[in-house]
Structure 1
Amino acid sequence: MNRNIDMERLRQDAADYFNGGYACSESVICAIRKNFDLDWPDDVIAMSSGFPWGLGDPGCICGALAGGTMCLGYFFGRRRPGDPKVQRCFRLTTELHDGFTARCGAPCCGKLIAGYDRDAPERKVKCTGFVEYAVTKTAEIILRELAADETEERPEA
């Protein structure tokens, strides 16, 4: 896994994926996979395909935010019932959500793109910004938390 992430490259990759045909959630996952050099199968991208347009169409959670949440779950989520580390994942997801909401204005796709036609170039530009923020904030959280884990694991001299 690569931890030397060029945030500008990451942001550009996410925008390129988004503007190249992937949806917002898929773009975040593709960019994280590529830049962290993760061995994720395409199935992971497929798992995120239902998030765009607010969970298929109802306008709920922004897909870029959902894609970031999936990535946080991969790194910090539980893999068995009762694992207390799920609390960390909840905390990090809340951090992503709150940062996204503060920066973008809302966590809900319907609110974020209200008044825009789906096919409008202006909507695509607006959503590209959401994708770029979500992927960057997600990567920042991952890198910070992995570094903190390494610090905790090192014995004191």
Structure 2
Amino acid sequence: MEKNLIVESVRKKAEGYFARGEFFCSEAVVHTINELLGWPFPEEVVKMASGFPIGLGKSGCLCGAVSGGAMALGMAYGRKHGETMNEKMFQMSAALHDHIKNMYKSTCCRVLVKDYEFSSPERKAHCVKITGEVAAWIAEKLLEDPEIAPRINEAFN
């Protein structure tokens, strides 16, 4: 499947999970990227992302989609006990942060939603869009990685 089609499919899946209320932002990103990678982790891994929505447990700090994105990047670049750190982990996490900050001028949840009534459909739509952007950005970067792309392409074909 063509890269752009995969990236857009990932965006729509993540947005759909959040929009339908199946997952919050961080959970939607983790679940979608786990699926993209061909389920290297059991579906229950999404539970680890459940404390991050609404800026880390409703504290309004770091955007849950960005937090979930960093967790999702760990699925590809993280390490186990005794392994050396993969430099791509830090590079990719920082690049994700910078991408969202450049696009939305912040990665802080309360700043990202300050112009919206929290319970409004407009705020949810805004957050759904950010969630899709995070998932799509990660998918694009993983598809550009020659070590990871073959696994993704295999899962999609």
TM-score under structure 1 length normalisation = 0.84
> SS of the counterpart of 2:129?
helix
Structure 2 gap ranges (5+):
150-157
Matched residue, 1:154? none
Residues 55-78 of structure 1 deviation map (CA, whole Å, 9 limit, x = unaligned):
111111111111111111111122
From the CA coordinates, give the structure whose radius of gyration is larger. 1
Aligned pairs for 1:96-111 (under 5 A) are: 96-111=96-111
Matched, 1:24 2:25: yes
SS state at 1:52 partner: coil
Question: 2:96, 2:36 → 1: CA distance?
Answer: 19
Equivalent position amino acid for 1:47 in 2: M
Superposed, which structure 2 residues align to 1:136-147 within 5 Å? 136-145=136-145, 147=146
Q: Percent identity?
A: 33
Q: 2:56 corresponds to which residue?
A: 55
CA–CA distance in structure 1, aligned partners of residues 49 and 2 of structure 2: 23
Identify unmatched segments of 5+ residues in structure 1: 151-157
1:36-95 Cα distance to aligned partner (Å, 9 max, x none): 32142232111100000111111111111111111111111221256142x321111101
Question: What is the SS of the residue equivalent to 2:60?
Answer: coil
* RMSD (Å) for aligned C-alpha atoms: 2.2
Pick closer, same or farther for the CA change 1:74–1:27 going to 2, 3 Å.
same
Task: Provide closer, same or farther for how the CA distance between residues 31 and 148 of structure 1 changes in structure 2, counting only shifts above 3 A.
Answer: closer
Contact 2:76 2:148 in 1 (8 A): no
TM-score (norm 2): 0.84
Equivalent AA in structure 2 for residue 133 of structure 1:
E
Shift of 1:143: 1.9
Match of 1:112 in 2: 112
Deviations 1:115-136 (A, max 9, x none): 3222101101111110111001
